[in-house]
Chain A
Amino acid sequence: MNSIVVKNLTKKFGSFTAVDEVSFEVKRGEIFGFLGANGAGKSTTIKMLCGILEPTSGDALVGGFSVAKEPDKVKQNIGYMSQRFSLYNDLTVEENIDFFGGIYGLEGNLFEERKKWVLHIANLEGKEKLLTSSLPGGIKQRLALGTAVIHKPQIVFLDEPTSGVDPISRRNFWDLINSLSAENITVLVTTHYLEEAEYCNNIILIDAGKLIAEGSSKQLKTNYIKVPIFEIECSNVVEAMELLEKQDFVGETSIFGNNIHVITNEKFKDESQIHNLCKSSSINVKRINKIIPTLEDVFIHLLEKGKK
């Protein structure tokens, strides 16, 4: 069953098309990654999906409601959390939960039940009386997500929720996202960190308002980069990189410590090309491994291709 069905969704601001005929579907309970560079149209799309911004044309069904025709119904059935957590710092954890419960009109037993659920799922039990301003970033973040789902929406939108959060807190946060998904809540998340996109069941990538790739992390890595990628361990990495960049069989290079990652292109034939090149420039190659692209490689590759 689909939680979100987007069909030819388009938004124009004057002559500028911010979102251009975008279509995709998100299954109920799925963790769905929405990727794109700054200015690609992510925020505009999310605003439309949340019923805050009216589409110029096309439509999307969010939790079964049309964002074009029933934006208020859409708003009641979703949760939203942005990188700027909308928490009250001078309230305690519990008071913040109470406040958001009030906004969503929860009362009596149902409210008490939900409050317990939020404290449990966000791992905040025992922290009820702490002042929000005194909490570390990672805990604030879980509280922000907890309050955003107190009404148990069918879908929750997370807009760059983990910007600047440390690895341990990030992992705890993803545990929370997984718990929501386990309760059949659909999670649509935008992030700049491609390693995080690995946690998603499905991913879409947009560029200049257009959808340019979709699939699971595995599908993205196998379907969208057909050229081989190598990791080269060698002496003088910086010189080696500059040399490789000039070759017609090389698309992209980047340095990883004492290694270079090389994304080749269709002109590439075999590894001897790299060996010969390095030999003639007295660069000592210790090893060359063919590697699986990272999501970042795929992403950059597709965006570069889009520019050409």
Chain B
Amino acid sequence: MEQIIQIENLEKSYGTIHAVQNISLSINKGEMFGLVGPDGAGKTTTIRILCGLLLKDSGDVKVVDKDISKYRKEIQKSIGYLSQKFSLYGDLTVDENMEFFAEIHNVKDYKERRDELLEFTRLKSFRSRLADKLSGGMKQKLALACSLIHKPQIIFLDEPTTGVDPVSRRDFWKILSGLLKEGMTIFMSTPYLDEAERCNRVALMNAGKIIALDTPQKIKEHMDNFVVEIVCTPVRKAYELIKGITELEVQMFGDRVNVIVKNYEKEIPVVKKLLEKNSVEILDNRIITPSLENVFMHLIKEAS
């Protein structure tokens, strides 16, 4: 598969804070890649380095086959970047915002592309509206459209859906699917593990390091522990018993707890006995496919 981004032994520190620690990673052309991790994991730093907005300390970074240390300007012509804070001009209209971004990127014949993008993001009927008067979801789509005006090969999205409602979010994913179809490479960061499930491959990042890198499916398969769902009542009592008495990782939901065990045959009977002895009624228990969140939490616990 053709690679469009190559990162080798990337390092970046801010004073004594080691934000990115020896990361190596390649992104394939046309894939949707997700960088997932908690705040301070180094996601934004990594994206900013890849976009040429921040200088690295050491390591090699190639974007669209060009060395970022030497060809920053050229690379910036081939990429788009959507930051957490959409940089739109509230007192300009939708059309004017697009025009402004076209000028920044030195795109002369932007009108056709603009119409195409407005059509694509379904913003055409709002083109004369001031950006300030748009809903959150529409602002997000406009910011995306602006970052695509110069037909980049790669689009970088830094936590693009924070604070956007589910309906607009689903709309946004549809638009991204359309971009994939055009052959665009999408590199995004997100703190939401359920969003990461939508990517072709993900890297789980924690404390400046990559702790897992694969397709969401494979990452889940690699978890050597079982997630056991126990539907029971009262749930809180079950949760407190398991948390207080056993060493097991346990998570409480509305009507059930999830327990993570290494040895199902050995550990689950102990848990069941504990619950039954304390008059918690078990309605159902079964092994479930771990979610990416389960895996992530587990890996972070193991790492620390």
Contacts and interface: CB of A to CB of B under 8 A. Distances in A.
Interface of A: 31, 37-39, 83, 136-138, 160, 163-169, 171, 178, 181-182, 192-195, 198-202, 216-218, 238-239, 241-242, 254-259, 294, 296, 299-300, 303
Interface of B: 32, 37-41, 135-137, 159, 162-170, 173-174, 177, 180-181, 191-194, 197-201, 215-217, 236, 239-240, 251-255, 293, 296-297, 300
Contacts of A218: 255
A166 B39 contact: yes
Contact of B168 (A38, A166, A199, A299): A38
A138 B39 contact: yes
A136 B40 contact: yes
A257 B167 contact: no
Q: Which of B41, B180, B191, B215: most chain A CB closer than 10 A?
A: B191
- Chain A CB within 10 Å — which of B217, B251, B255 has the most? B255
A37 B164 CA distance: 9
Contacts of A181: 236
Contacts of B39: 136-138, 165-166, 169
Given A192-B166, A217-B254, A167 B296 contact: yes
Nearest to B84: A164
B200 A163 contact: no
A257 B199 contact: yes
A38 B300 CA distance: 34
A258 B217 contact: yes
A238 B159 CA distance: 23
Contacts of B177: 238, 241, 254-255
A192 B163 contact: yes
B92 to A, nearest CB: 23
Given A138-B39, A192-B164, A257 B170 contact: no
Given A255-B173, A257-B198, A216 B192 contact: no
B236 A182 contact: yes
A164 B181 CA distance: 29
Nearest to A138: B39
Nearest to B254: A201
Nearest to A182: B236
A167 B166 contact: no
Nearest to B170: A300
A125 B253 CA distance: 26
A71 to B, nearest CB: 28
Contacts of A160: 163
22 contacts: A37-B167, A37-B168, A38-B136, A137-B39, A138-B39, A164-B159, A166-B37, A166-B38, A166-B41, A181-B236, A192-B169, A195-B293, A199-B253, A201-B255, A216-B254, A218-B255, A238-B180, A241-B177, A254-B173, A254-B177, A255-B198, A300-B170
Top 3 nearest A-B pairs (CB, nearest first) are A166-B38, A166-B39, A238-B181
Contacts of A168: 38, 297, 300
Contacts of A199: 252-254
A204 to B, nearest CB: 13
A258 to B, nearest CB: 6
Given A166-B41, A254-B177, 4 more contacts: A163-B162, A167-B191, A199-B253, A259-B217
A164 B162 contact: yes
B290 to A, nearest CB: 14
B254 A31 contact: yes
A39 B159 contact: no
A169 B167 contact: no
Contacts of A166: 37-39, 41, 191
A31 B162 CA distance: 23
B297 A167 contact: yes
A153 B81 CA distance: 45
A37 B254 contact: no
Contacts of B297: 167-168, 171
B191 A257 contact: no
A257 B200 contact: yes
A38 B174 CA distance: 19
Contacts of B239: 178
